[in-house]
Amino acid sequence: MPFSNLKPKVKTILSNENEPTAQRLKEVCELLQSSVGYYDWVGFYFANEAEKTLHLKAFAGEPTDHTVIPFGKGICGQVAVSNQNFVVPDVKAQDNYIACSITVKSEIVIPLFKDGKNIGQIDIDSHVEDPFSAEDERFLEWVNEEVAKILAP
């Protein structure tokens, strides 16, 4: 499904005030994972600034052992400190990488900003090599902006 068709669906899920935030985030993960062929695992991590750790809040795909990730560790931990998108076409080429499954070939992590502060991220694993383009980056930045709007300041 093209990203333009997914946007209204994401908005509908996030605007459902009858559901807790974590449930809405889970539904966004499920939507993206089931709609984009090369999105095999989709999750949101949020930062605990005091502990300098990332915590998995919602996901779709296989359960992962990596529900808590220290800042600086793996692709996710690096994005927690760099504030930059991180697109990994081939995970085998990365030294600082936390493997979740041997089937994962590539990954994209986009930081999530609330009031200009990097408070978390969306993380996507793919079983396809080098599938992510600038279009994915723009779409996932947009998803994170929409998510930021429903989070408490």
Q: Which residues in this chain contact ligand SME in the complex, by CB under 6 A?
A: 41, 43, 64, 66, 69, 74-77, 97-98, 100, 107, 123, 125
Least distance in angstroms from the C-beta of 131 to ligand SME: 15
**Pairing state of beta strands 53-60 and 41-48?**
antiparallel
Smaller CB separation from ligand SME, 77 or 111: 77
Least distance in angstroms from the C-beta of 81 to ligand SME: 12
Least distance in angstroms from the C-beta of 36 to ligand SME: 16
Smaller CB separation from ligand SME, 9 or 137: 137
Smaller CB separation from ligand SME, 16 or 67: 67
Residue with tokens 């408070």: 119
Least distance in angstroms from the C-beta of 63 to ligand SME: 10
Smaller CB separation from ligand SME, 45 or 139: 45
| 94 DSSP 8-state letter | -
3: which 2 tokens? 């990203």
Query: How many residues can be counted in the chain?
Result: 153
Q: How far apart are CA 42 and CA 124, in angstroms?
A: 5
Count of other CB atoms within 10 angstroms of residue 108: 24
Q: Which residue is nearest to ligand SME (CB)?
A: 74
Least distance in angstroms from the C-beta of 11 to ligand SME: 25
Q: What is the distance, to the nearest Å, from the Cα of residue 7 to the centroid of all Cα atoms in its chain?
A: 16
Provide CB contacts within 8 A for 47, sequence distance 6+: 53, 54, 55, 71, 80, 118, 119, 120
